[in-house]
A and B are shown apart, each in its own frame.
Chain A
Amino acid sequence: MSIVQIENVTRDYTQGSHTVRALRGVDLTIEPGEFVAIMGASGSGKTTLLNLVGGLDGPTTGSVRIEDHELAGMTAAERSELRRDRIGFVFQAYNLVPVLSAVENTEMVLILRGEAEATRREMAMKMLGAVGLEGMENRRPNELSGGQQQRVAIARAIAGAPALVLADEPTANLDSETGNEIIALMAKLNQEQGITFVFATHDPKVMAAAGRVIVMEDGLVKEDRRS
C-alpha cells in the first residue's frame, strides 16, 4: 500500500473577490521508505501540495489518500486525528511550544493519543537519545540552539511512530554545518527505521540527499526524477 496517493487533485483559494487555483491537477504516489524532496518557486503550489500530503488541508476536487484514508470529505476533527496518529511534522521555525521542555514537547503527541504516563516518558527520552540530545531533556526551547530545536522537532515527529514525516524547509534557518547534521540525521532515520520523509525545500543539500526530487511549477508537477 502506498503511503500517499494523490489523484487528479485541484485546490482553489478565494481571497476576497478572486479565486486562486493553487493546484491544477496533480497526480502523485509516494511509497513507504522514500526520501522525497519537493521543489518550486513561491506560487508554484509546493506548499499547498505539502499541506495536502500532510493532511493539513483537503482537496477542492480529486482524491488524496494517506495510507488508504481518503482526505476529501473529512472533517477538520477527522484530519486532526489522522495527523495525530499517522503523520509527523518538522517546520522551518517555531516548532516547539516555548513553555514546555524538550521532553515535554516530544511527548505531546503521545499525550494527545492518551498513552500512559510512564510509557510515554520513556518513549520520549528514547527519541531524544535517537536524535543525539541526551541530557537536554529538561531544557526549554529558548535554552537550545537552532539546530538543537530542530532535533527536538524531529524527535517529536517520530515519537509516535508515524507512517510519514513532513519537513517544510527544515534547514532554512540553520548554518550549513548544522543543516548538514540535520539532514544526515533524517537520512539515518529514513534508512535505519524506514520512516518515509517528504521535504519542501530550496536547499541543494537536501536535494542531494533525496532519493527522488519533484519539481512544481504553476500548480502542476513539472518534473519527477529519481536519483
Chain B
Amino acid sequence: MLLRMAFRNLFRNKRRTLITMTAIAVGMALINVTITIQHGSYTDLINRGVSSIAGHVVVRSPGFLDDPELRVTDSAAHAKRLASVAPDAVVQRRIMLGGLLSSTSGSAAVQSVAVEPEISRDIGSMYDEMVSGDWLETDRDIIIGARLAETLDVKEGDKLVFMGQSGGEMTSRLFRLKGVFKTGAADVDGFMVVMPFAAGQEILGGNDLATMVTLHLDDAAAWPAAVDAAQTAFDGTDVDVLSWKGALPDVDAFITADRSIGQGMLFALFIIVSMGVFNTFLMSVLERTREFGVLQSIGMKPNQIAKLVLVEGALLGFFGVCMGSLLGVGLSYPIVVSGLDFSESMGEGMSNAGVVMSTIVYGAWDIPRMVVFAFACFVVTFLAAIWPAWKVSRLEPVKALRNQG
C-alpha cells in the first residue's frame, strides 16, 4: 500500500516530477558519457604505451629511472624466465639508445629502439604505422620517421650512419633505410628510429645486453596476476620486475590527473542535482502538511508517514537513474562504435608522456564504474529526501490540520 501511494504521489505533480527526474537523468547521462570516453582513451593510451615502449610486465635494471643507460645483462636468460610466467604471452627484448643519425645531407639527434623484428612486428607498434618500404629484415636495416626522412633527405635504400657512445666507447654503424613510418606526432616522427635488436647489441659491444625485457599479454586485464607471477619467478635476481604502471609513470600520472578533473565536474553535478531534488521534495512535503495531518488523525504513525516520503525519494531516484542510464548509454553508443574524431583539434597526431595518441577516440564501456556511479546517484537522491522525511516524522497532527494544505 505504501508503495502504491508513494508511486502515485510522485506523479501528482507530473511536470515537477518530470523536471526533477530530467535533472537527475541529465546528470547521470553526462557521467556515463564521460566515463565511457575516458575509459576508451585511457585504455588506448595504455595499450599503445605498452606496445611501443613498455609491456604488461617489464623487467629492467634497478635505478633505470635515474640512469636510463643502465641495462640488464643475460637478457636471453631473463627472456626465457619471463616467458615461463605466461606461456601464451609474447616476450620481447628491447634496447634504447640515444645518438646521432647522419645522412649525406645532414644529421639529427635521435632515440633509437632496437627490437627483435619478428616478435615486434606481431605485437604491433611501429609496424602498423609504416607508410612506405618494408619492415626490418637484415641487421643493416633501419626504419625512421617521415619527418626525419625529410630532414635527412633520404629514401629507401640510402645510407645512414648511427653514432653513439656506450661504456666509454664511441661507435658508429652503417645502416640502409628500409622503410618509413608516420605516426603524425611530430616529436616521434622526427626523433625515433627502429633498428634490429642484433644491431643494437653490436653497438653496445655484445654482452647480451638489453634495456628491458617485456611481456605482452593477449588479455590486458590479466596483468596483475602476471606481475605477481613474474615477481615470484624473479625473486632473488638483481633486476626490477614492474607492471606497466611502474614502467609508464607518466601515463599513469596523466590518467590520474585527467580523471580527477572529470571527477571534480561530476562531483559538482552531484551536489547541484541533489539540491534540486531536495527543494522539490521539501516543497512536495510541505504542500501535503494537512493531508499528513489527516493521515495521522486516522491513526497513521509519524514514522510510517516518514517512510512514505523516503519511499517516494527512492522511487524518484530509481526512475531518474534508469532514465539517465538509458540516455547515457544511448549517447555513448555512437562514441563507442564510431569514435570521436579529434583530428581537427589534435592535428595528425599528438604525443602524451612519450606515447602517441590516436586522433579518433573510441569510447569503451566501463561497466563497473558506471554501475558504481549509478548507485551513487541513487543514494544521493535518496539522501535528499531524508531531511524532509525527518521533518514529517515530527509533525503534530493538530498543527498539521490547521494548515491550508
Say if the two chains contact directly (CB < 8 Å). Answer: yes
Cα(A94)–Cα(B290), bound, Å: 8
Q: Which residue of B lies closest to A51 (CB)?
A: B398
Instruction: Report whether A83 and B294 are in contact in the complex, using a CB–CB cutoff of 8 Å.
Output: no
The interface centre, meaning the residue of A76, A88, A99, A111 with most chain B CB atoms within 10 A of its CB, is A99
**Complex A-B: 11 CB contacts under 8 Å:** A56-B397, A80-B299, A83-B298, A84-B299, A84-B300, A89-B298, A91-B401, A94-B291, A94-B405, A98-B291, A112-B298
By a CB distance below 8 angstroms, the chain B residues around A112 are: 298-300, 304
- B12 on the interface (CB 8 Å rule)? yes
The one of A96, A99, A109, A111 in contact with B9, judged by C-beta atoms closer than 8 angstroms, is A99
By a CB distance below 8 angstroms, the chain B residues around A20 are: none
- A59 on the interface (CB 8 Å rule)? no
By a CB distance below 8 angstroms, the chain A residues around B8 are: 99-100
Instruction: Report whether A54 and B5 are in contact in the complex, using a CB–CB cutoff of 8 Å.
Output: no
Question: Binary interface profile of B, 282-304, with partner A (CB < 8 Å = 1, else 0)?
Answer: 00000000110011111111101
Query: Known interface pairs A56-B398, A56-B401, A94-B405. Does A85 touch B299 (Cβ–Cβ under 8 Å)?
Result: yes
Instruction: Report whether A80 and B294 are in contact in the complex, using a CB–CB cutoff of 8 Å.
Output: no
By a CB distance below 8 angstroms, the chain B residues around A94 are: 290-291, 294, 405
- A30 on the interface (CB 8 Å rule)? no
Question: Binary interface profile of B, 390-404, with partner A (CB < 8 Å = 1, else 0)?
Answer: 000000111001000
A to B contact number (C-beta, < 8 Å): 64
Contact residues, A167-207 vs B (CB, 8 A): none
The interface centre, meaning the residue of B294, B299, B301, B401 with most chain A CB atoms within 10 A of its CB, is B299
Not counting A51-B398, A77-B302, A112-B300, a sample of 6 additional A-B residue pairs whose C-beta atoms are within 8 angstroms of each other reads A57-B397, A83-B298, A94-B294, A94-B405, A99-B5, A111-B1
Q: Which residue of A lies closest to B397 (CB)?
A: A56
| Number of residues from A at the complex interface, CB < 8 A | 27
- A151 on the interface (CB 8 Å rule)? no
Cα(A56)–Cα(B398), bound, Å: 6
A67 to chain B, nearest CB (A): 15
Instruction: Report whether A156 and B401 are in contact in the complex, using a CB–CB cutoff of 8 Å.
Output: no
Question: Binary interface profile of A, 35-56, with partner B (CB < 8 Å = 1, else 0)?
Answer: 0000000000000000100101
Q: Which residue of A lies closest to B11 (CB)?
A: A99
The interface centre, meaning the residue of B12, B291, B295 with most chain A CB atoms within 10 A of its CB, is B291
By a CB distance below 8 angstroms, the chain B residues around A84 are: 298-300
Question: Binary interface profile of B, 1-34, with partner A (CB < 8 Å = 1, else 0)?
Answer: 1000100110010000000000000000000000
Instruction: Report whether A99 and B405 are in contact in the complex, using a CB–CB cutoff of 8 Å.
Output: no
By a CB distance below 8 angstroms, the chain A residues around B396 are: 76
Q: Which residue of B lies closest to A89 (CB)?
A: B297
Instruction: Report whether A91 and B12 are in contact in the complex, using a CB–CB cutoff of 8 Å.
Output: no
Cα(A62)–Cα(B41), bound, Å: 76
